Amino acid sequence: MRLSCYKCISTSRFNANSPSYYCNTQRSNLGVWHSYSPPQISGAAEILGTVIEVLTGDTVAILPAGEAYDSASKLKKVSLASVRSPRVGNERLGKPDENYALECKDRLRVLCTGKTVKVSIHYERDIPMGEVSTSL
């Protein structure tokens, strides 16, 4: 069975009785992705190391193999792809924990802390830490 794209369904051009379920957009093959190139990774594409700390239910800190832990700057912060865990709250901002946030974090801690892992990096991004405001 062939399916139509969401554009045709939402604009009522989709006809289930027609012999072809392909819409005009699919037939035209406009090459929307012709200039796509995968993101470039600045560091290694794989990290082999030991999980030192679980930060949240979907983020861990890894010490790369062959490195001695002498400061937190040596740790690599890695978030699990396609995982959305409940968020831990923030006391300073008055945000409570989401349901099961601590249980999720604790389960990940039990499963992987101290274990050797091999991580494949698919993409990377800088996460801004927010505005720093000072008042004198």
pLDDT at 108: 94
Amino acid at 96: P
pLDDT at 22: 53
- Is pLDDT above 50 for 7? no
Rounded-to-integer distance, Cα 70 and Cα 63, Å: 10
pLDDT tens readout for residues 72-95: 889 988 888 888 889 888 888 899
Q: If you write DSSP's letter for every residue of 17-83 in order, what string do you get?
A: TSS----HHHHHT--TTTT--PPPPSS-SEEEEEEEEEEETTEEEEEETT---SSGGG-EEEEPTT-
pLDDT at 115: 95
* Residue 63 structure tokens: 């010490």
User: What's the CATH number of domain 46-120, 2.40.50.90, 3.30.10.20, 2.30.130.10, 3.30.1360.200?
Assistant: 2.40.50.90
More confident residue, 42 or 130: 42
Average pLDDT of every residue of the chain: 77
More confident residue, 59 or 4: 59
pLDDT at 110: 95
Rounded-to-integer distance, Cα 51 and Cα 108, Å: 11
Contacts of 13 (CB under 8 A, 6+ apart): 7, 23, 24
pLDDT tens readout for residues 12-55: 454 555 545 455 555 666 666 777 777 777 877 888 999 999 99
What are the sequence ranges of the domains in the chain?
1-29, 46-120
- Is pLDDT above 90 for 107? yes
**Region 100-109 average pLDDT:** 93
Rounded-to-integer distance, Cα 10 and Cα 69, Å: 55
- Is pLDDT above 80 for 5? no
